[in-house]
Amino acid sequence: MRSGSGSVHDIAIGSDHAGFWLKEIIREHLLKRGFSTLDMGTESADSVDYPDFAVKVCEAVLSGAARNGILLCGTGIGMSIMANRFKGIRAALCHDHFTALAAKRHNNANVLALGGRIIGPDLGKEIVDTWLEAPFEGGRHQRRVDKLDASQDKT
Ligand code: RB5
């Protein structure tokens, strides 16, 4: 962890080896913007398994240690699949401005997944800023989000 513990952080962030480079850029960007981050790893470009880091970030969000989470792997796909297995996590895989906006406005996504092999640093920062700054619209979207959060495991 590169930030202090014991308090609620703005964002828990985690990646595998393929998202590591972008995690470092996004983390620095967030710190410059005044957000507190909880860095759950990985710490290098050495090969690791992305589900392990998705679990750490989702647990931080669900425990209240962090308000939101950001996950990065090569495509963002594996991270978003793992994250969405947690009840109460609404993870959105975003590759552009519009999906980042809708992820918050409509889905109130509490975890953002990004692909380090898909997007560049500037787009990554723009997606993060858009998602963080957009307001959740509530209303009919709240009803739908409530249904997401109330859904049981499908077998
Ligand atoms: C790692 O090679 C890659 O599979 C991973 O980063 C991610 O893209 C999985 O969804």
**What pLDDT, on the 0 to 100 scale, is given for residue 122?**
98
User: Does any domain span residue 1?
Assistant: no
The pLDDT of residue 109 is above 90:
yes
12 CB under 6 A from ligand 1? no
The pLDDT of residue 5 is above 90:
no
CA–CA separation, 19 and 154 (whole Å)? 30
Q: Which residue has the tokens 């997401």?
A: 148
CA–CA separation, 38 and 69 (whole Å)? 9
CATH classification at residue 13: 3.40.1400.10
User: Does any domain span residue 2?
Assistant: no
Average pLDDT score, the chain: 95
In the structure, what pLDDT confidence band is assigned to residue 155 with cuts at 50, 70 and 90? low
80 CB under 6 A from ligand 1? no
**Range 106-124 average pLDDT:** 98
Beta strands in the chain (DSSP E): 9-15, 37-39, 66-73, 91-93, 111-115
User: Does any domain span residue 80?
Assistant: yes
User: Does any domain span residue 100?
Assistant: yes
In the structure, what pLDDT confidence band is assigned to residue 49 with cuts at 50, 70 and 90? very high
In the structure, what pLDDT confidence band is assigned to residue 31 with cuts at 50, 70 and 90? very high
Tokens of 4: 């202090």
In the structure, what pLDDT confidence band is assigned to residue 52 with cuts at 50, 70 and 90? very high
3 CB under 6 A from ligand 1? no
CA of 73 to the centre of ligand 1 (A): 5
User: Does any domain span residue 31?
Assistant: yes
In the structure, what pLDDT confidence band is assigned to residue 1 with cuts at 50, 70 and 90? very low
**What pLDDT, on the 0 to 100 scale, is given for residue 111?**
98
User: Does any domain span residue 39?
Assistant: yes
**Range 76-94 average pLDDT:** 97
* The total number of structural domains that make up the chain: 1
**Range 27-38 average pLDDT:** 98
User: Does any domain span residue 38?
Assistant: yes
pTM (two decimals): 0.95
Of 98, 82, 64, nearest to 15 by C-alpha is 82
User: Does any domain span residue 22?
Assistant: yes
Structural domain of residue 55, as residue ranges? 9-154
